[in-house]
Amino acid sequence: MKSETTTNITSNKRMAIILLSILVFVMIVMSSFHGMDVQIDNEDMDGIGGFFGIVLGCGIAVVAVVFALSLTGMVLASVAVLLCVIFAVVVGSLALALLPLFLPILLVVGLVALFSRKTT
C-alpha cells in the first residue's frame, strides 16, 4: 500500500518529466521555424517570442473554428426544427382540406360502431 507522500512525489516527478519533455520538444520544433518571423507593429519577433506568437495565432484559429462549427451546428439544427414544423403544418392543412371528403365515411363508421355495440 502506498502512502500519500509517495504518491505526491511520484505525481510531482511525473509532471516534472512531462513538462521537461514538452519544453525539449518545443525547443526542437522551434529550431525548424528559423525562417518564419512574426511581425507586430512592423517589428520582427523571432526566436521564442515568434514561436509563441505562432502558437498563440494557431490557438486563436482553433477557437474560431470551434465557434464557427458550433454556430453552424446550431443553425442546421434550427433549420431542421423549422422544416419539421413546416411539414406538420402542411400535413395538418392537407388533413383539414380532405376532411369534407372523409366526413361521410367517418359518420358511417361511427354509426356502425355505435349500433353494433352490445348492451350489457
Packed helices 48-115 and 4-31: angle between N→C axes, nearest 10 degrees: 110
Domain boundaries, the chain: 1-32, 33-115
3-state secondary structure of 43: strand
Q: What is the pLDDT of residues 4-43, one digit of tens each?
A: 666 666 678 888 888 888 888 877 777 776 666 667 777 7
Q: What is the pLDDT of residues 50-102, one digit of tens each?
A: 677 777 888 899 999 999 999 999 999 999 999 999 999 999 999 999 988 88
**Contact yes or no for 33/51 (Cβ under 8 A):** yes
| Residue 15: predicted pLDDT | 85
Instruction: Please state which of the ranges 39-43, 44-48, 70-74, 115-119 shows the lowest mean pLDDT.
Output: 44-48
